[in-house]
Amino acid sequence: MAAQAQLLDLVGAIYDCALDPQGWPPVLERVAGLVGGINASISVQDPMHKLGRFSTSWGVPGESIDLYNERYAALNPVMTSGWYCEIDEPISAARYTGSEAYFASRYAREFLRPLGWGDAIGSHLLKLKNRYGILAIFGPWERGEFQELDLAAIRQISPHVRRAVTIADLLDSRGLHQDMLSATLDLLAVGIILVDAEARLVHANRAGLDYLDARAALRRDGDHVSARDPKAAAELRQAIKTATSGIATQMPRSGLGVPIASARGGDLAAWVLPLDAGLRGDLAAPYSAKAAVFVRELGDTSGFPGELFVKRYDITPAECRVLMMLVQGMSVAEACDALGVTEPTVKTHLSRLFAKTGTNGQSDLMRLAVSALAPAQSSAAQL
């Protein structure tokens, strides 16, 4: 009973921070104390620009943040975890990458160990187009990896932290209507297909109609919008259902991404956004639409969400870590050292990446990755 009372008191303190952000450091200290952590922070991590912007923290020296962004964010083996992990589902960084590889990585050897930091529990709070918000708690180096009981403790707390930071605007959200409208305006150059809650076509712009009429990737199933590929069709239906379910505040601000294979080449990337009252008035006033589906070709080199890229090609977290090191211009040997793994392991991941992406060698793979994942200049300005 005493433990439950303490937990409820902590939850109350978390929500107090929504009104008084100055209360976050002592609250984060209490959150870290649940798992024996030596620091805790809430930050936005940007895998494309390899930067972290820390909204609030406890036990994190400012100089360590500077060092992280100047040198070690690019080597962080869990930097792309936001592309794979679910909201409010904590992970241990060491268990996510493999404990031996994590503690042998350059990131751990050169950055964490001198600070006395070891494994980290990360719980993702929200996902944006190419960034994600995360609650992170580091344990001491000598402790080794966090255990399942530690993850369970943070699993109880994470939803409350997420709701509090959303309310407090700590992660630079500007309100649901403004965020969704901004995301919409960013995508006006692509195909726009408006649908109701049952995925029935309500309206489409010229580009959207062209995609439907071509029937190479998208298609009309009676008066419903669907996809030729059965898996993509199911994912598109689910994304529309989620967008129209009334829980839009839990969606990424850029929308729900769905990769859609084409029968003739030129695969598509689609984003599904809910049309709230404000957006409906601005974008769909003449229509009974409940969601907007924005479509463009996969090869478009404007900012492309990393989560959609790895989903499209079924790239595993381990393969993604290798890819991200090579995209930075590292050799295979340098990638091995950075990730704390052997050369045969990296080469195995490379061969699988070639097969999954249909590329012929490392140079082809790098061209594809750079074109798909190249960060837009506007994203840098926002960070």
**39-46/132-140 β-pairing:** antiparallel
CATH number at residue 97: 3.30.450.80
182 assigned to some structural domain: no
Looking at the fold, whether 158 and 202 belong to one and the same domain comes out as no
Q: What is the CA radius of gyration of the chain?
A: 22
Domain that holds residue 141: 2-168
In a domain, 186, yes or no: no
Among 270, 297, 324, which residue terminates a domain?
Answer: 297
Q: How far apart are CA 367 and CA 303, in angstroms?
A: 15
> Does residue 205 sit within a domain?
yes
> Same structural domain for residues 124 and 232?
no
Output the tens digit of pLDDT for each of the chain's 383 residues.
567 778 878 988 898 887 788 899 999 999 999 999 999 999 999 998 899 999 999 999 999 999 999 999 999 999 999 999 988 999 999 999 999 999 999 999 999 999 999 999 999 988 876 788 999 999 999 999 999 999 999 999 998 898 788 766 533 433 334 444 444 434 445 688 889 989 999 888 778 888 899 899 999 999 999 999 999 999 999 989 988 886 545 555 556 778 888 877 678 878 887 775 444 444 444 457 888 888 877 654 344 567 778 888 899 999 999 999 998 889 999 999 999 999 999 999 999 999 999 999 898 898 888 776 654 333 333 33
Give the contacts of 112 (CB within 8 A, at least 6 positions apart): 118, 138, 141
Same domain, 10 and 117: yes
CATH no. for residue 312? 1.10.10.10
Residues 42, 74: one domain?
Answer: yes
Asked if residue 176 belongs to a domain, the reply is no
**Token pair 């692509």: residue:** 190
Count how many Cα atoms sit within 13 Å of the Cα of residue 133 in the half-sphere of its side chain.
Answer: 25
Residues 368, 243: one domain? Answer: no
| Number of separate domains in the chain | 3
* pTM, to two decimals: 0.67
CATH number at residue 197: 3.30.450.20
User: Could you tell me which residues come within 8 angstroms of residue 162 by beta carbon, excluding any fewer than 6 positions away?
Assistant: 87, 88, 125, 126
